[in-house]
Amino acid sequence: MSKSKQNLKRMFEAKSVAVIGASGDPLRIGGRPVAMIRDMGYEGALYPINPNRDEVQGLKAYPSIADVPGEVDLVICAVPGALVEDMLGQCAAKGVAGVIVFAGGFAEVGGDGVEAQKRLTAIARGADMRMIGPNCMGFANFANSMPASFHPAFARPMPKGNIGLVSQSGAFGGLSSLMAMDRGVGFRHVLTTGNEGDVGVADCLDYLVDDPGTEVILLYIEGVRDGPAFLDALAKARRAKKPVVCVKLGRTEAGAKAAASHTSALAGADAIYDAVFSQFGVHRVNSIEEFFDTGAAISVGGMPKGDSIALVTVSGGVGVLMADDAAARGMTVTELPQSTQKKFKEIVPYAGVNNPLDVTGQIINQPEIFEQAMRLVLDEGDYDAVVGFQGASLNAPENVESGLTMWKSLKTDYPDRTFAVASLISAEGQKRFEAAGIPTFREATHATRAMAAGAYFTRCFTTPFDWKPAAGSDAPLGNGTFTEQSALATLSAAGVPVMPTRSAASAGEAAAAAEELGFPVVMKILSPDIVHKSDVGGVKLNLASKADVEQTFGEMMTAVRAKAPDAKLDGVLLAPMISGGVETIIGVHSDPVFGPAIMFGLGGVFVEVLKDVSFRLAPFDTAEARRMIDEIRGRAILDGVRGAPAADVDALADALASLSQFAAAHRDRLLSVDVNPFVVLPKGQGAMALDAVIELKDD
């Protein structure tokens, strides 16, 4: 482990903390961390630093960080912005592992602030010392009883938990801590990152993946600065099977604009984030409630081992609502076994016994039928997830008691199933249920939503995954500009199939080349000076014979010379006339944050009108390429519609994977690739690029 990573860990798990600018007033920004850390029962050493006082809030104070005896893992720097640089230097000299800088007025205000922040970063990095902030609220390590922050929310007792949260918004970090406590769900870490002068989201994520006590990770981000590090951390999370739930702000134009004005510009297209989330198995959500619900449900009750779900309900109407919700989220809601249906009908003749199993209002007279229904479903149906809707009953304390007994015994008797309870349960009841490992929801569809999220992670975690970023290569890549021909040749060399072509400088050569290719052929003028070939009569289709080719050659030369007298003409390019197949578009987009992303879409209106495209970060294998292909709405076109044969999806997937390898290898120089059309021929006949444009970055 690098020194820098060691220090990150030392900081987050600090055994000794100093507060620079420690105040005797526990309500001031320099007094709060001292009071909060001490009062929460932190067991490490706590050193207030204050040159004017011997004692701060009952603790011995030191004039400077240099005066502190022994090692200091974490310094909370609570002094005004102007003093930070000096203090940071002192911390570096002392060998502090990490520093939190609360003060604002740095990169977020632009101008001189940007430069000032750069100086802080340089001091920290020069010493392998980590810095959180500036302009941040710090973090809280609840496992260590250490709220390294001035946010009052972190001062409140937190139940023991296994959730780690990373938030770029400090205010949200504080708020989330209150929300977790409200719900009785325990956070282990809340890490806020502020301006990210040094420590960013990727560092925090990486730390949480390595932390054995963190089992569920929540990310609240507007974007990331270090794309490759973020991807590495996500890949590690996926390999470790730690679910990552993410709110990524700025999914709409209005939101992106608001985010841009809120943070120092974080570039990167939202669609590319979506691609990253698909590829790495991150679950994206769009509300705080869903964010917490999902994290809490998995933290408390785990993830269903598959997609099948059974619903047991006291209200048929709510049962159907849950079936709709589960099915809309990709769960399978298959009918109960006939024997189960029959057995329950013997208990309640008029019950609904399909799936949902509706025990009906009979529950009022026979409360025991709910458990009977659950056990029948569990014994005879092979469902991964089972949700029980119990109406308002768990609002009453006496029902909480009996309900808890039932659910606990179900959990014990069926340890491989995942349960959730929906009921108008009281807050107190919810806490008791969740402490017993049974997630509860006041809204019925939130129970199915959470189960679907868990099943999503299971699906991801059981799918082979082999992200390995390409290092980039120094292999030469053209001389800065590509012609259509050299672009196709380059892609062909990279393993992307392209249409065979022949060049010819005379009518005779052209006729011979056409014969080699097979008729009919297409003829195009070859000239470095002509971009729009058809505008000057430089494209002829469907030439059917040698004679046709010879005559057209002469006509084309004459026509082009007349319209573009100054152009250098190198003869013509011949290619077979392709008919049939499905036109697609494949390409490379170079994202400023994440590097090369591969784009796939169907040709024509699918891309232009419907924006029906999918992205993946390069490089990837053919299995990932297939998932990418399967994501577009028009996917069925490739299976053949209106009498067309099925297309060669294997060849398409191979081409996408090859293009991704090419893009990754040349990530430093490649700006974009646009292969349009890329024709996918009928199954077994392959696929080929008919035209391609490659653009390089300016050197």
Specify the DSSP element, H or E, that contains 310. Answer: strand 309-313
Q: Are strands 595-602 and 582-591 parallel, antiparallel or unpaired?
A: antiparallel
Residue placing its CB nearer to a second copy in the complex, 286 or 558: 286
Residue placing its CB nearer to a second copy in the complex, 54 or 642: 642
Name the nearest CA neighbour of 219 among 166, 174, 161: 166
Please report how close the Cβ of residue 255 comes to a second copy at its closest, in angstroms. Answer: 3
Residue placing its CB nearer to a second copy in the complex, 223 or 595: 223
Please report how close the Cβ of residue 184 comes to a second copy at its closest, in angstroms. Answer: 14
Task: Measure the N-to-C terminal CA separation of the chain; round to a whole number of Å.
Answer: 35
Residue placing its CB nearer to a second copy in the complex, 183 or 502: 183
Residue placing its CB nearer to a second copy in the complex, 158 or 507: 158
Residue 466 phi, psi (nearest 5): -140, 50
DSSP SS3 for 377: helix
d(CA 610, CA 686): 26
Most distant CA pair in the chain: distance in Å? 103
d(CA 371, CA 376): 8
* Look-up of token digits 């980590």: 130
Residue placing its CB nearer to a second copy in the complex, 328 or 671: 328
Residue placing its CB nearer to a second copy in the complex, 532 or 642: 642
Please report how close the Cβ of residue 487 comes to a second copy at its closest, in angstroms. Answer: 22
d(CA 11, CA 120): 17
Please report how close the Cβ of residue 483 comes to a second copy at its closest, in angstroms. Answer: 24
What is the torsion angle, in degrees rounded to the nearest 10, for the CA atoms of residue 151, residue 156, residue 161 and residue 166? -10
Residue placing its CB nearer to a second copy in the complex, 468 or 633: 633
CB 19 within 8 A of CB 31: no
Burial (0-12, 13-18, 19+ Cβ within 10 Å), 668: middle
Number of neighbouring beta carbons within 10 Å of residue 327: 14
Please report how close the Cβ of residue 65 comes to a second copy at its closest, in angstroms. Answer: 26
- Tell me how far the alpha carbon of residue 346 is from its chain's centroid: 49
DSSP helix, strand, coil percent of the chain (3-state; round to 5) = 40, 20, 35
Residue 320 phi, psi (nearest 5): -65, -40
Please report how close the Cβ of residue 125 comes to a second copy at its closest, in angstroms. Answer: 26
Please report how close the Cβ of residue 602 comes to a second copy at its closest, in angstroms. Answer: 9
Residue placing its CB nearer to a second copy in the complex, 227 or 250: 250
DSSP SS3 for 441: strand
Please report how close the Cβ of residue 610 comes to a second copy at its closest, in angstroms. Answer: 6
Residue placing its CB nearer to a second copy in the complex, 4 or 263: 263
Specify the DSSP element, H or E, that contains 387. Answer: strand 385-389
Q: Token digits for 153?
A: 């929310």
Please report how close the Cβ of residue 553 comes to a second copy at its closest, in angstroms. Answer: 29
Please report how close the Cβ of residue 191 comes to a second copy at its closest, in angstroms. Answer: 14
Please report how close the Cβ of residue 251 comes to a second copy at its closest, in angstroms. Answer: 5
Please report how close the Cβ of residue 349 comes to a second copy at its closest, in angstroms. Answer: 8
What is the torsion angle, in degrees rounded to the nearest 10, for the CA atoms of residue 348, residue 354, residue 356 and residue 360? -20
d(CA 608, CA 602): 9
Please report how close the Cβ of residue 252 comes to a second copy at its closest, in angstroms. Answer: 4
d(CA 667, CA 661): 10
- Tell me how far the alpha carbon of residue 74 is from its chain's centroid: 30
Pinpoint the alpha helices (H) of 105-165.
112-126
Residue placing its CB nearer to a second copy in the complex, 509 or 631: 631
Residue placing its CB nearer to a second copy in the complex, 173 or 576: 173
d(CA 681, CA 652): 9
* Look-up of token digits 């592992």: 97
Burial (0-12, 13-18, 19+ Cβ within 10 Å), 650: middle
Please give the radius of gyration of the chain, using alpha carbons only, rounded to the nearest integer: 32
Residue placing its CB nearer to a second copy in the complex, 314 or 536: 314
